[in-house]
Structure 1
Amino acid sequence: MEVDARADLMCGIEELAESRHGYDKAAAYFDGTVQEVFSSVRLRRALAANDVDFRINFAKTPVTAVANRLKITAVTSPDDAQNKALADLWKANQLNIEAPDLHTKTCELGDGYLFVLPIQDDNDNVTGIEMYYNSPVTVRAIYREDRPREIDFVIKRWTERGCLRAEVLYDDHTERWTTERNSKGDQPRDWNPWPADDEDEESWTIPHSWDFPQNPAFHFRTARPYGTPEHYAAYGSQNAITKLTTTHMGNVDYTGAPQRYALTETKDTDTGDLDPGDWDDEDFPENANATGPTDQGDPSSLKSGPGELWLLRGFKAVGEFKPADPKAFLDPADWYIRALAHVTDTPAHLFDITGDAPSGESLRRKEAPLVDKVKERQKLFGATWTAAFTFALRLLGFDDPVVDVRWAPAATVDDLQGWQVVAAKIAAGVPVIQALMEAGYRQEQVEAWLSESDEAELGRRVQIIATFATAAQSLGTAVTLGALTEEQVTGILAGTVDAIELLGQPVEETA
């Protein structure tokens, strides 16, 4: 067999090897296992030998902040049969669990892959579809140089029973390769065809069962052509935070047990008071029951305790070294946490351990970069999900399937200022459905509300909510100024809520 037959295989293996370090590094920062950076090799070894670990992982937050808002609410089709098939696919492949996991891992590493393969019976009839996640550590899509949006081929490599295995997936067929046991697999000669059927030597090349060009591996990514971990920009800040917190913990030991000193008069100093006890363990009777006295080799005969008297002969002064001020560590750590939030477009309040968070317009302004990022990920991930489900439906025999992937809003309006803006838009003539969708509510939610009442009625309810919110804010100001008591405001609001429930009922037209 010509070596050229292995050209794509070796190209893919080289790409996997080159990208592996970046993925491992991203995973280490996400898991919080990155070691402190030391200028002293000796100090690093000493801490490693004693398994000292004071790491506090903030680098994970930029990943979870995005992934937690990537929630698919529905995958539908206008065709009833296709819609049922999509529901069956979702349930059979446990995508309510797998999809969030895929989103999180893709945000963590920057890339992720979804394999979509047919399940066939003995007569080659498609009876189902398998959809499962693959890590970019073992899978890599190779894109065409002349058409950068198109996948040339996908390689998957793994270890099985001491042998390296590899599959090279094209649009129309898959090639299977293997090595001998304990082979490094870094040379073309290490790889041999791996037949799927031992009785058929040519079965290492498997034609795809579908009659249209399509690679069964779908590439999820945070950018094109390859993604970047959501927390990539946080690496430097996390290193600084880890070093500051670890060094601070070392300083805590000196706060609890300060380092002391004694100044001596050279000519007449008696250091005997600092010597160990006069008795060794072997000078004591046998201590069979572990109840008798022993000399533990204390470094000094001076004892610390209430009522103890220390006699230091010949020492002119004693004292202790003052530990470093904790602010020297904690204040810079706070700065690096804020820097980490800034460089990753993550709201700073997500790192605030006090639990304080902004609200209203301030919250929307501070979360705007994160919301924009989530919307971009929804576009990228949504396009890949649509392609994967479309391919699955075609495998099931549907011609020209139509798939619609719906996401939960990246942010929704649920505060006073937000509802005031919505009400103002409606009052200015913006259609109710448009105003509510701009506020972050899904189209199907608004349509469900409109099915219960017409657009004018829904607009009236929005106005009621906005008016009530404004009144509640004004009453809160009145309490602050002392014009009203909290009990009075509570009574007013309780009565108002009852009235709103009546006002919120549909208005019946009279003849």
Structure 2
Amino acid sequence: MSTTAEPHLASEPSSGLTGLTDLHTDYLELIRARPEYERAEKFYQGMIEEAYSSPKVARLLSRSGLNQFPSFNLAHIAVDAITDSLHLNSVTTEDNDLDNVLDDLRDANDLDAEFPLLMQTAGKFGDAYLFVWPSTDESGNAVGVRMEPQDPRVARVFYSAENPTVMVRAIQSWETGAKETLTVRANLYYADRIERWAHRGKVPQDAKRAKWEPYTADGEPASIENPFGQVPYFHYRTARPYGTPLHVNAYGPQLAINKLVTSHLATVDYQSFPQRYALVDPSADLSGTQTGDFTPEHPTDGTAPEEPGDSQLDSSPAALWNLQGYKEVGQFQAANPDHFLKPFDRYIKAMAQATQIPFQAFDSTGDAISGESRRVANEPLYVRVESLQKDFGATHRRAYEFALTILDEGSASPVTVNWRPVRNINDLNGIQMLILKMQLGVPLDVLLAEAGYNSRDIDSWLANRPVEPTESSTADSGPTKEINPDERTEQQ
């Protein structure tokens, strides 16, 4: 994903920079939001650090290297189960020429590959952005449109306090250099202008100590006119005004699972190689020796009389170990694996319940269920996916309409975003139910939609379907000629 979006547009700079107050406030809000986004990333990637109530336990695990063991990550499933169901089929209009323009935009920006990643980012963080701006040639003339997905850790939008549906500005910030050469760059995007700023060194919390300066080092003006009348950012979010990660409710169960897995692995060595003990008998006579079995009667065993003899402790099966001075021997019982595995299964169920993701998405080893049962179990997932299709689809539609405005290709033909239906019926019982509904008079387009076919395909199929003759059309074809019995006999 792109992390920088330098605007380039052949235009005169505006009269001045007026967003300094907004700049510092927006920048602080951007960096304050980063820790939660970083936390969501770590849970998604399975890189979250363990927390232990006992420092001694933490030291013991560190000594054995188990504190570096990768987590048994299941939290990402809460994101992937939803975003993997968000399949964008097409973006079209009712104008073939405009459809060609949309196809060119998609190909030029590689959106077939970038858009699924944008959906994954929105699901993982709760927020993702699409930056739309003219692409220019060396002379500054617009030759196309840039549609670049951006990470919420480098960009953030802001809404009107009076009307939360209106986006008033956006900020994008990134760093270049390090230590003495560190420079913090920031762009502010308004509906009428774009302001470019830079700050040498780390930005202090106190606005009075911050030393933001207009950025013109690349030869472009610090303030650039925005002739399009709207902020060129499009916000994909799972909630309003800002989204929440789809796996946020999996954080707790994932931490519990990590601790169970790590603790279980710490006991596996003791199950394979148990610790043993021997109780000494204080009354035992230890005056004898147990160093070997060499005697003059065994001169051919290869051991010289002056050398230590072989041990009498034989490790072969059914051998008896004759231990001198010990009253009792035994081994310590390792921890029962059920103490870890049973809670492990319960926490997986808790994760499924907390995230409203079907349990079979986390554990596919259970008993097979029927198609109808699976659809009932998946209903909460279907509802969430369809809700995101509406929200993401509306944002995607506005982004394409803005791109067409930049290209001066505005049209009365609306842009339509077509998703692959998340619901589908492909089992025998489901198809038989559709047939029964058809016999009861349910329209064919409704049945095809229930089966999971795309509305665009359904319209195309029904439009090309041959018209079946009806009783009224047969009656309109004219009266049927009656043939009397004599004429029938002559014809025969």
Q: TM-score, normalised by structure 1?
A: 0.77
For the residues of structure 2 that align with 1:213 and 1:362, how far apart are their CA atoms? 51
Selected match of 2:109 from 80, 87, 93: 93
- Please tell me the residue identity of whatever aligns with 2:74: F
> Given the superposition, is the C-alpha separation of residues 406 and 43 from structure 1 closer, same or farther in structure 2, using an over 3 Å criterion?
same
CA distance in 1, matches of 2:374, 2:340: 29
1:437 aligns to what SS in structure 2? helix
Of residues 323, 337, 342, the one that matches 1:326 is 337
- Structure 1 198/56 Cα, relative in aligned 2: closer, same or farther at 3 Å? closer
> How much has 1:357 moved relative to structure 2?
4.2
Q: Aligned runs of 1:414-493 on 2, under 5 Å?
A: 414-450=426-462, 453-454=465-466
Deviation at 1:444, TM superposition (A): 2.3
Give per-residue Cα distances to partners, 1:135-190, cap 9 Å, x unaligned.
Answer: 1111111111111111121111111122111111111111111111x334434343
Is the counterpart of residue 343 in structure 1 residue 359 in structure 2?
Answer: no
CA contact (8 A) 2:237 2:392 kept: yes
- Matched with 1:222 is 238
Tell me which amino acid in the other structure corresponds to 1:206.
I
Map residues 204-353 of structure 1 onto 2, 5 A cutoff.
Answer: 204-208=222-226, 210=227, 212-266=228-282, 268=284, 305-306=315-316, 310-353=321-364
Contact between 2:423 and 2:450, CA under 8 Å: does it hold in 1? no
Deviations 1:284-315 (A, max 9, x none): xxxxxxxxxxxxxxxxx997843776443222
1:233–1:344: 8 Å Cα contact kept in structure 2? yes
Are the structure 2 counterparts of residues 222 and 429 from structure 1 closer, same or farther at C-alpha, using a change threshold of 3 Å?
A: same
Q: What is the distance in 2 between the residues matched to 1:122 and 1:347?
A: 53
Letter in 2 for 1:164: V
Distance in 2, Cα, partners of 1:191 & 1:49 = 47
Amino acid at match of 1:169: Y
CA distance in 1: counterparts of 2:254 and 2:130, whole angstroms = 31
Which residue of 40, 48, 56 maps to 1:42? 56
Deviates more, 1:36-45 or 1:246-255: 36-45
Find 1:183's aligned residue among 180, 197, 202. Answer: 202
Structure 1 counterpart SS, 2:374? helix
Following TM superposition, by how much is the alpha carbon of 1:438 offset from its aligned partner in structure 2, in angstroms?
2.7
| 8 Å Cα contact 2:281-2:326 kept in structure 1 | yes
Specify every segment of 5 or more residues in structure 2 that has no aligned partner in the other structure, as ranges.
1-15, 292-310, 470-492
- After TM superposition, the structure 1 stretch with the greater mean CA deviation from structure 2, 226-235 or 143-152, is 143-152
Q: Which of 377, 394, 404 is matched with 2:416 structurally?
A: 404
Residue 264 of structure 1: how far off its partner (Å): 2.2
Output one character per residue of 1:208-234: Cα deviation in whole Å (capped at 9) or x when no partner.
2x3x31111111111111111110000
* Shift in Å, 1:123: 5.7
Match of 1:318, SS state, is strand
Are the counterparts in 1 of residues 19 and 188 from structure 2 also a CA contact under 8 Å? no
Q: Using the alignment, how far apart are the partners of 2:73 and 2:371 within structure 1?
A: 29
Distance in 2 between residues matched to 1:273 and 1:413, nearest whole Å: 81
When the two chains are superposed, the root-mean-square deviation of aligned CA atoms in Å is 2.7
Please point out which of 168, 192, 198 is paired with 2:212: 192
Instruction: Decide whether the 8 Å contact of 1:273 with 1:311 is kept in 2.
Output: no
**Residue matched to 1:473:** none
How far apart are residue 382 of structure 1 and its match?
0.5
Change (3 A) 1:49 1:78: farther
Is the alpha carbon distance of 1:249 and 1:199 closer, same or farther for their aligned partners in structure 2, counting shifts above 3 Å? closer
Deviates more, 1:363-372 or 1:14-23: 14-23
CA shift at 1:425, angstroms?
Answer: 2.0
- 1:81 correspondence with 2:112: no
- What is the number of equivalent residue pairs in this alignment? 426
Which residue identity is paired with 1:360?
G
Deviations 1:105-152 (A, max 9, x none): 110111001101101235654211111111111111111111111112
In structure 1, what residue type is equivalent to 2:391?
L
2: CA distance between counterparts of 1:146 and 1:349?
Answer: 44
| Partner residue of 2:76 out of 44, 51, 60 | 60
**Aligned residue number for residue 17 of structure 1:** 31
- Which amino acid letter does the alignment assign opposite residue 434 of structure 1? V
Distance 1:273 1:174, change over 3 A: farther
Residue 147 of structure 2 is aligned to residue 131 of structure 1: yes
> Closer, same or farther in 2 for the Cα pair 1:393/1:305, shift >3 Å?
farther
Corresponding letter in the other structure for 2:236: F
**Structure 1: gaps spanning 5 or more residues:** 276-300, 458-511
Q: Percent identity?
A: 37
Q: Is the 8 A contact 2:121 2:128 kept in 1?
A: yes
Q: Measure, in 1, the Cα distance between the counterparts of 2:172 and 2:289.
A: 72
* Contact kept in structure 2, 1:38 and 1:44, CA below 8 Å: yes
- 1:74 alignment partner, SS class: strand
Secondary structure of 2:202's match?
Answer: coil
Q: Which residue of 2 aligns with 1:508?
A: none
The answer to whether 1:147 aligns with 2:192 is no
**Separation in 1 of the partners of 2:164 and 2:322?**
83
Helix, strand or coil at the partner of 1:263: strand
> How far 1:445 sits from its partner (Å)?
2.2
User: Following TM superposition, by how much is the alpha carbon of 1:374 offset from its aligned partner in structure 2, in angstroms?
Assistant: 0.3
Q: Distance in 1 between matches of 2:96 and 2:288?
A: 95
- 2:483 maps to what in 1? none
Specify the alignment match of 1:486 in structure 2: none
Secondary structure of the equivalent of 2:348? helix
Report the CA distance shift for 1:254/1:438 in structure 2 as closer, same or farther (over 3 A).
same
2 CA distance for matches of 1:274 and 1:234? Answer: 60
Task: Tell me the alpha carbon deviations over residues 244-300 of structure 1, each in whole angstroms, 9 at most, x when there is no partner.
Answer: 11111112111101111222234558699999xxxxxxxxxxxxxxxxxxxxxxxxx
Determine if contact 1:270/1:314 at 8 Å carries over to the other structure: yes
Q: Secondary structure at the match of 1:15?
A: helix
Q: Distance in 2 between matches of 1:67 and 1:267?
A: 73
For the residues of structure 2 that align with 1:252 and 1:43, how far apart are their CA atoms? 16
Contact 1:261 1:321 (C-alpha < 8 Å) held by counterparts? yes
Contact 2:276 2:330 in 1 (8 A): yes
TM-score normalised to structure 2 length: 0.80
Is 1:360 the counterpart of 2:381? The answer is no
Aligned to 2:475: none
- The secondary structure found in structure 1 opposite 2:157 is strand
**Take 1:350 and 1:64, find their aligned partners in 2: how far apart are those partners?**
10
- Following TM superposition, by how much is the alpha carbon of 1:325 offset from its aligned partner in structure 2, in angstroms? 1.6
Change over 3 Å in CA distance of 1:198–1:3 after alignment to 2: closer
